[in-house]
Amino acid sequence: MEKVTIREASQRLRISTASVRECIRGGELKAYRETGPDGRAGWVVELPEEGWVSAATAQELGRDFSPWWWGTLERTGRIHYVESLSASSWEETVPQFLCGEIGDNIWAATELPEESLCLECQMVALERGLPHATPE
């Protein structure tokens, strides 16, 4: 079984780092603390077999890509347009939204109710000619 960092597991399994951690806590993925070449301990995840699907990935399979995402686990507040993604020193996904806000992570927005969309993100998307949340 191949062992990788949480961040790499996130990229290879195509789920957020938060979802990787949820799968570890739920027993769907195995993770261990190992000492790296620099002598510091870190988490490694055993990659599952090809075709693995969890509750976290099942939600995303077959869904068209959308740049509109929730910025909170509770899926409250505003749905934002993700401009770019980076990783924190703790290997968490850090999104920057078109409106300039920076989030802790991203969570799928399966529905895009107009009243929940970030108005600033919508305006910037319109100015740049980016995909709209609600086709006109």
If asked whether residues 78 and 104 sit together in one domain, one would say yes
- As a whole number of angstroms, the distance between CA 52 and CA 61 comes to 12
Q: How many domains does the chain have?
A: 2
If asked whether residues 93 and 53 sit together in one domain, one would say no
If asked whether residues 47 and 90 sit together in one domain, one would say no
What range defines the domain where residue 120 resides?
A: 68-128
Q: Which of 8-17, 29-38, 50-59, 67-76 has the lowest mean pLDDT?
A: 50-59
If asked whether residues 45 and 17 sit together in one domain, one would say yes
Does any domain span residue 111? yes
Give the pLDDT of residue 48: 87
- As a whole number of angstroms, the distance between CA 80 and CA 21 comes to 23
Give the pLDDT of residue 120: 95
Burial class (CB in 10 A: 0-12, 13-18, 19+), 15: buried
3-state secondary structure of 123: helix
Does any domain span residue 81? yes
pTM of the entire structure?
0.54
Dump pLDDT digits (tens) for 75-114.
888 999 988 887 766 667 788 899 999 887 788 787 889 8
